[in-house]
Amino acid sequence: MRLTAFTDYALRTLIYLGLNPGRLATIDEICDAYDIPRNHLSKVVHLLGSSGWVQTVRGKGGGLRLAMPPAQIPVGQVVRLTESDFEMVECFNGATNRCVLSPACRLKSALKQATDAWFAVLDPLTLADVLGNAAGLRQQLQIAPA
């Protein structure tokens, strides 16, 4: 399983904002910190804003910040929101499944259990947990201590 760049950028944006509490950050600033394309990040920020996790402030002096404490932002939900598909194999979708092995295959069940286990790890994890090493993260991003 591999997360899309969209999900990666969403998680990195939340981390960046979590490392900068009490101030507005800009999309350009986040793009520079991670060396990622602005047009991609704009789409990510729009979704994070409409989800309620990020507050966006328009106009001169505007920017973005977390809309709630990091402990209230569940990583599993962020991943579910930003990923379009967790159908690991064709047979996960009953409407489009054409695999002739489906009635006798045990792989489907194992892959479903693996996906469920993956989310069992991500679901209790919050942004606050991810920020547990804030000093190290700030050092990597060259952000001054909060």
Q: Name the fold adopted by 5-85+127-141.
A: Arc Repressor Mutant, subunit A (1.10.10)
pLDDT of residue 136: 96
Quote the CA–CA distance of 49 and 80 in Å, as a whole number. Answer: 16
Domain boundaries, the chain: 5-85+127-141
Quote the CA–CA distance of 78 and 84 in Å, as a whole number. Answer: 12
Query: Which backbone phi and psi does 126 adopt, to 5 degrees?
Result: -115, 170
Q: In the beta sheet, which residues pair with residue 65?
A: 55
Q: pLDDT-derived band of residue 107, with 50, 70 and 90 as boundaries?
A: confident
pLDDT of residue 75: 98
Give the three-state DSSP class for 89: coil
Q: In the beta sheet, which residues pair with residue 74?
A: 126
Cβ burial, residue 12 (10 Å; 0-12/13-18/19+): middle
pLDDT of residue 64: 97
Global pTM value:
0.89
Nearest to 54 by CA among 8, 86, 20, 28: 20
Q: pLDDT-derived band of residue 47, with 50, 70 and 90 as boundaries?
A: very high
- Whether residue 59 contacts residue 101, with contact meaning beta carbons closer than 8 Å, is answered with no
Place of tokens 């259990």: 113
pLDDT > 80? residue 40: yes
Query: What average pLDDT does this structure show over 74-91?
Result: 88
Give the three-state DSSP class for 63: strand
